[in-house]
Amino acid sequence: MTQDNSKSHIIYRGDILIVDDTPENLKFLSKTLAEQQYKVRSVTDGVMALRVAQAAPINLILLDVRMPGMDGYEVCSRLKQHENTKHIPIIFISALDDMIDKVKAFNVGGVDYITKPFHVEEVLARIETHITLEAAKTEILKLNSELENRVRQRTHQLEKEISARQQAQEQLLHLALHDALTELPNRVLFMKQLGRILEQSKQNSEHHFAVLLLDCDHFKVVNDSLGHVVGDRLLIAVARRIQTCLPPGVMLARLGGDEFAILIEEDTPHGDRALELASRIQTELGYPFQLGSQENFTNVSVGIVLSHQNYEQPEHLLRDADSAMYQAKARGKASQQIFDPRMYTQAIVRLQMETDLRRAIEREEFILYYQPIICLKTGKVAGLEALIRWEHPNQGLLLPGEFLPIAQDSDLMSQIDTWVLRQACLQLKHWQENKNLQDSIFMSTNLSVHNFLQGDITEKISNILIETGVSGHCLELEITEESIIRNPGRVNSILNELKNRNIKFSIDDFGTGYSSLSYLHQFSVDSLKIDRSFIESIVPNGSSTHNTQIAQTIVQLAENLHLSVIAEGIETREQLSVLEELDCTYGQGYYFSRPLPAEAALKFLMYCQQSG
Ligand code: C2E
Ligand code: CA
Ligand code: CA
């Protein structure tokens, strides 16, 4: 044992306390030990010994057995009882004549004994041994506690690592079962849950449930025209709004793209809760979405499938919900439909139709019919509206209502619109050059929302004009209120760009869409086409019906905004009279002519030119 005493710069081998009532002994031992570089303290009775041992650092005590007052055994056992002193090795000293009770000495905690007279070497050897032993013991204790500490730390670290690993695993599991964009359960989790509930309903025929498949209407338009970032934000907003409609415990999942699914337990096999929920969601989604400074619209078409004993696999339920959803879509925006097995056939027909449609574009099975637009003031043909037909190889001539909805859903629409525009321009140019058609007669074509908001639309149209040699003032493009409302800013810039080419614009089916009359003055459109539904029930001779009033309002509104009005779907002389009275500029409808194939349309034009 070494110790640095800074005062004397002596390196001590240890602190030793000598307790003996015989002064000669004390003197002899002190001297001998001091010579050996021990630091020595000496006391002559037990009480003092206890006091010093408490106060100073002591490495070893030489303790006389026999002393007046407290004897050595007593001192030893007291030292051993005390926390601070119990570790100090104690060597008993005894005279040869008083026999030491060795057993007692060891029992009270002594480590050794020496008898007088002292053999210096022996005394030193024993002291040295016990000091070293004690030092080794202390060292071991220290190492031990360090080791324990380290084990404790490692355990702690391991626990942390394990919990981090568990967390990571849970996170991975969460990721695998949830959609990253909306954080809703994904298809995998939905199918699992659906499988579970299907099992339960198999075991208990009273257990009914329904699956709702929700698909956003015209979502592709949003993505194509406003970009994916806006599309994503809209999807998140839609998800949140649907969630607010859900009763507690009902699962909403995002299956992918713009498709969501809901699993709901039912009290009856009739799907009452599902239908009610679908309506509530559609009502909620009817309000515009405010994304930043922009207002957006989207709603969902909902297909519903009800649980049935015949279902064996969750996939089949989803497949049927999908068929029902398509039926709903075909009926128009924001509809709902419960699956009926007859839909299988319809779904197959639909699929076939889609395949046929793709081929139709390649094989050019489309043709255009032309319906004259008449100036009501002069009775002359002012223009023609090009309307598409499909000469289907097996089904004969199909009207747009029979195939355009499918084209819209399968992104064939913009190809079709482009084809129509080119074809109509080619036809017009041909008539102008070869049949002396006056160039005051314009050609009108329909542009669907899909096409209209696409990035390259102005370039596409300009190219077609250049390619066909038709001048812009001979072209009128019909767009719907929906295209405008979808993205007013973009529409405005497209309109202005195309205005530079003198192309005219009209708003088709006016009055049926969002009918936000207030926005009209912001857009450079040239005319409004009053929807057929308002013309249909016009009654002459002043008995002003609601519809006559609407027609009148639209005509007046157009007048104020310096727009011309085209009344669509005029079928009778009476309807025409009312419109003439209202001072409507143009008319179109079966009363004048049905849409005609090119040949017949030309004949009609020539006849009017001659007779006019
Ligand atoms: P629309 O643009 O409102 O076209 C007028 C529709 O009303 C035409 O139906 C026309 O045949 C019909 N119609 C015209 N006069 C009368 C009438 O007096 N009485 C009745 N009952 N109907 C009349 P069609 O050709 O079946 O077209 C339906 C819709 O399909 C069009 O409605 C238009 O939205 C769309 N469409 C037609 N061709 C094209 C096209 O080339 N591109 C695009 N994007 N859409 C087209
Ligand atoms: Ca039209
Ligand atoms: Ca129309």
Whether 164 maps to a domain, the answer reads no
Determine the distance separating the centroid of ligand 3 and the alpha carbon of 596, expressed in angstroms.
16
Q: Is residue 543 part of a domain?
A: yes
Within this chain, do residues 397 and 546 fall inside the same structural domain, yes or no? yes
- In three-state secondary structure terms, 84 is coil
| Confidence band for 239, pLDDT divided at 50, 70 and 90 | very high
pLDDT digits (tens, 9 = 90+) for 168-224: 888 888 888 999 999 999 999 999 999 999 999 999 988 999 999 999 988 888 888
Task: Specify the pLDDT at position 19.
Answer: 96
Looking at the fold, whether 336 and 375 belong to one and the same domain comes out as no
pLDDT at 541: 56
Distances (CA, A) of 138 to 3, 57, 75, 143, 394: 15, 14, 23, 9, 103
The stretch 573-594 carries a mean pLDDT of 95
Residue for token pair 């337990």: 265
Residue 608 half-sphere exposure, CB side, CA atoms within 13 Å? Answer: 22
Measure 479 CA to ligand 2 centroid, in angstroms.
8
Look at residue 8 and tell me whether its pLDDT is greater than 60.
no
Ligand number nearest to the C-alpha of 386: 1
Position 174 in a domain: no
Mean pLDDT, range 555-575, rounded to an integer: 92
Give the residue whose CA is nearest to atom 41 of ligand 1. 388
- Chosen domain end from 85, 107, 142: 142
Q: What gap in Å lies between CA 178 and CA 193, rounded to an integer?
A: 13
Dihedral of CA atoms 306, 311, 314, 320 in degrees, nearest 10, equals -50
Residue 612 above 90 pLDDT?
no
In a domain, 83, yes or no: yes
Question: Same domain, yes or no, for 527 and 602?
Answer: yes
Cα-to-centroid distance, 560 and ligand 3 (Å):
22
Please tell me whether residues 462 and 505 are part of one structural domain.
yes
User: For the ranges 61-65, 211-215, 486-490, 496-500, which has the lowest average pLDDT?
Assistant: 486-490
| 532 and 592 both lie in a single domain | yes
**Same domain, yes or no: 385 and 460:** yes
The total of structural domains in the chain comes to 3
416 alpha carbon to ligand 2 midpoint, in Å?
15
As a whole number of angstroms, the distance between CA 190 and CA 176 comes to 12
Domain assignment present for 147: no
Q: Are residues 100 and 235 in the same domain?
A: no
> Tokens for 271?
């799907």
265-295 pLDDT, tens per residue?
998 888 999 999 999 999 999 999 988 787 8
Give dist(CA 468, CA 428) in Å, integer: 9
Atom of ligand 1 nearest to the CA of 478: 2
Q: Assess if residue 366 is contained within a domain.
A: no
Give the end of a domain, one of 142, 172, 198. 142
List the residue whose alpha carbon is closest to atom 42 of ligand 1. Answer: 446
Residues 433 and 487 in one domain: yes
pLDDT computed for residue 2 by the predictor: 46
Question: How far is it, in rounded angstroms, from Cα 326 to Cα 8?
Answer: 101
Q: Domain holding 27: CATH number?
A: 3.40.50.2300
Distance CA 422, CA 462 (A): 11
Residue pLDDT, tens place only, 27-72: 999 999 999 999 999 999 999 999 999 998 999 999 999 999 999 9
Q: What is the pLDDT of residue 1?
A: 47
Do the domain assignments include residue 597? Answer: yes
CATH of the domain at 328: 3.30.70.270
* Per-residue confidence band for 250, with pLDDT thresholds at 50, 70 and 90: very high
State the average pLDDT over residues 330-348.
84
Token digits for 182? 């909306």
| Mean pLDDT of the 237-248 span | 96
Q: Which of 564, 562, 518, 567 is nearest to 547 (CA)?
A: 567
Residue 400 lies in a domain: yes
Q: Domain check: are 321 and 395 in the same one?
A: no
Rounded CA-CA distance 560/515 in Å is 17
Q: Which of 371, 387, 537, 590 to mutate to test the pocket of ligand 1 (most atoms within 8 A of CB)?
A: 387
Question: What's the 387 CA to ligand 1 centre distance in angstroms?
Answer: 6
**Which residue has a Cα nearest atom 33 of ligand 1?**
446
* Nearest ligand to the CA atom of 530: 3
Same domain? For 334 and 400 the reply is: no
Q: According to the model, what pLDDT value does residue 5 have? A: 46
- The closest-lying atom of ligand 1 relative to the alpha carbon of residue 571 is 18
Last residue of a domain, one of 74, 108, 142: 142
CATH number at residue 427: 3.20.20.450
Q: How far is the CA of 318 from the centre of ligand 1 (A)?
A: 35
Query: What's the pLDDT band for 544 if we cut at 50, 70, 90?
Result: low
pLDDT of 360 strictly over 90: yes
Residues spanned by the domain of 322: 187-340
User: Tens digit of pLDDT for each residue in 129-138?
Assistant: 999 998 898 8
283 and 235 part of one domain: yes
Domain shared by 478 and 567, yes or no: yes
Q: Alpha helix locations (H) across 410-486? A: 413-434, 449-452, 457-468, 481-486
Mutate-to-test residue for ligand 1 from 413, 425, 445, 446, highest number of ligand atoms within 8 A of CB: 446
